[in-house]
Structure 1
């Protein structure tokens, strides 16, 4: 095995999320993967932009993955902009035109259609930013000191 080969996430959606994360980071967004904005919802990618804007990106690796997603409209209440991320083989005509579109692979991504903006209410934005910060800090601590997580669980 070549030790210089990049380690890629195992699942197709995770590979798309990696490329999306790279794009958003290049746009000065802070990115969290697999974030829970509210009970019963788990988004693939949530980002916090430099001006406090909150974006959600759902990664879809196939037609079946998209058609089985019954919760996506519930995510709209938790972001300023909502995007789908797909690869170049995905049938993009399936995706609602009133949402954003990102074409991605494991190494990068590009915005193909900017999502319309629907600004969050101040109270919800404040709560999301606080939850985002706590989640990011807890994940970072878990990496820096894995034993601390189990010691206080």
Structure 2
């Protein structure tokens, strides 16, 4: 408990509602993996391009990772928006379930195998550093999104009119 009398675990984000059970399990495992590596992740993060990354994460040095969740082969083959994510991150990963055929994933992205309990990296993502101005913009957007979501959990009415 902190000085407000609230436990840090008092706030729980409600499910987004757009993901399947499989995608939610992969998301949970990927977020746990990121946390174990010292990264903090923001699910359903809207990039400056208007695209929505499944997870955007930030490490202590300011490196940004984007994790694209693929819950099935059909999901992978029909959704090609992930190619736009490279300009908004330093590393791009796919997170997939244990039965996903990883050999169909592009070789120039990292691969995580995840379930609801955790994840493991089976292929590291290449490092392709963002330009400084892009890094600043993405980091600021991540900070505002995360802080806005926390504020919204604490006081939903207080967030009216705030654009994230």
Unmatched segments (≥5 aa) in structure 1: 1-8
Aligned residues: 145
Partner of 2:111: 101
Distance in 2, matches of 1:110 and 1:128, equals: 25
1:132 aligns with 2:138: no
Q: 1:16 & 1:85 partners in 2: Cα distance?
A: 7
TM-score if structure 1 supplies the norm length? 0.90
Question: For residues 156 and 72 of structure 2, what CA distance do their matches in structure 1 show?
Answer: 35
Which residue pairs with 1:91 in the alignment? Answer: 101
**2:60, 2:25 → 1: CA distance?**
25
SS of equivalent to 1:38 = coil
TM-score by length of 2: 0.84
Partner of 2:53: 43
Distance 1:131 1:72 in 2: 19
Partner residue of 2:29 out of 7, 19, 27: 19
Provide structure 2 residue ranges, at least 5 long, that are not aligned to the other structure. 1-14
SS at match of 1:32: strand
Moved segments of 4+, more than 4 Å: none
1:61 matched residue in structure 2: 71
Q: CA deviation at 1:14?
A: 2.0
In structure 2, what is the equivalent of residue 115 of structure 1? 125
Distance 1:13 1:92 in 2: 16
TM-superposed deviation, 1:68: 0.7
| Alignment root-mean-square deviation, CA | 1.5
1:133 Cα deviation from its structure 2 partner: 0.4
Q: Deviations over 1:88-108 (max 9, x none)?
A: 111111101111000000110
* CA displacement, residues 115-148 of structure 1 (integer Å, 9 cap, x when unaligned): 0000000000001111100000100000111121
1:34 aligned residue: 44
Q: Distance in 1 between matches of 2:159 and 2:132?
A: 32
